[in-house]
Amino acid sequence: MEKIKQELLAQKVGAVKEDEPLANHTTMKIGGPADLLVEPDSIENIKKTMDIVKKYNLPWRAIGRGSNLLVADGGISGVVIKLGKGLDHMEMNETKVTVGSGYPLIVLSTQAGRSGLKGLEFAGGIPASVGGAVYMNAGAHGSDISNILEKAHILFQDGTMEWLSKEEMDFSYRTSLLQKKRPGVVLEAVFNLEKGDRSEITEMMKKHKDYRRDTQPWDRPCAGSIFRNPLPEHAGSLIERAGLKGHQIGGAQISELHGNFIVNTGGASAEDVLALIEHAKTVIKDKFGIEMETEVEIIGRK
């Protein structure tokens, strides 16, 4: 990896760190080291990074703010590309917003609301980057990214870059083309919003924020919803009815506030979280006959 690190540094792609603990880069504060963590500071430098990944046939993974992500204790082989500074540009033109993948979704939602643009109210409590939100079709409060996306700028592993329409992104519940068929890095997104009443938008966002504060444990390290909702049921309700709220394995605990959140009480390992996930799956299957599927993305070496 030293040779590859030196090549990345020579190309001046941005910060390059070897054996970087991914616990420092996930909202759950869990995760072993990445062989190499690269933080490109421009679209051009993401392209340079991907060219080197391709040259050495390295495994790779892109991350944003590290929400909705559980990284195994063994870390991640190859190169982790972190999207942040340098990819956080944003431009509003009437009702159209063009934004870089490293831009925080909560900040974007707030700024759109202050500008009297509606459509992003649902995102005011999602601690993701724009890139991560597009990648997983993030959503809340009955809406999601697919409802507002016009197109996304994607870099694929073969080095090609394409603007894909909403239809081409092949969105479904918390998934997109990038998970299902063609792995790629989200570079930018264009959202179509609508003009609205600023006070009404602000009130709606406040309502969502209050709901999040009162019902979700974001004051503790967590990854967001652990399970997909097996509609018409809801995962949190099933877990609560099964008496699992507060159940703990090692440093990982099913939140006492919301059954579909697992919190890191301090020093939790990915193994603790995975054991708790499997326990919840078993109990829900035994009690209700329902197979639970994870929404949080689980990656890395076990």
Q: Report the pLDDT value the prediction gives residue 132, as an integer from 0 to 100.
A: 93
| Catalytic residue numbers, as ranges | 174, 225, 295
Boundaries of every domain in the chain? 2-82, 90-214, 218-296
Q: Report the pLDDT value the prediction gives residue 155, as an integer from 0 to 100.
A: 96
In which order are the strands placed within the sheet that holds 14-21?
A: 14-21, 33-40, 76-82, 60-63
Q: Which amino acid is at 261?
A: F
- The three-state DSSP-derived secondary structure of the chain is CHHHHHHHHHCCCEEEEEEEEHHHHCCCCCCCEEEEEEEECCHHHHHHHHHHHHHCCCCEEEECCCCCEEECCCCEEEEEEECCCCCCCEEEECCEEEEECCCEHHHHHHHHHHCCEECCHHHHHCCCEHHHHHHHCCEECCEEHHHCEEEEEEEECCCCEEEEECCCCCCECCECHHHHCCCEEEEEEEEECEECCHHHHHHHHHHHHHHHHHHCCCCCCECCCCECCCCCCCHHHHHHHCCCCCCEECCEEECCCCCCCEEECCCCCHHHHHHHHHHHHHHHHHHHCCCCCECCEEECCC
CATH fold of 90-214, please? 3.30.465
**117-118 and 252-254 strand pairing:** unpaired
Q: What is the mean pLDDT of each run of 10 residues along the chain (302 residues)?
A: 92 95 96 97 95 94 92 96 92 95 94 94 89 92 93 93 96 89 94 94 87 86 94 95 97 96 97 98 98 94 78
- The pTM for the full model equals 0.90
Longest dimension (CA), the chain: 58
CATH fold of 2-82, please? 3.30.43
Q: Report the pLDDT value the prediction gives residue 70, as an integer from 0 to 100.
A: 97
Secondary-structure class of domain 218-296 per CATH: alpha beta
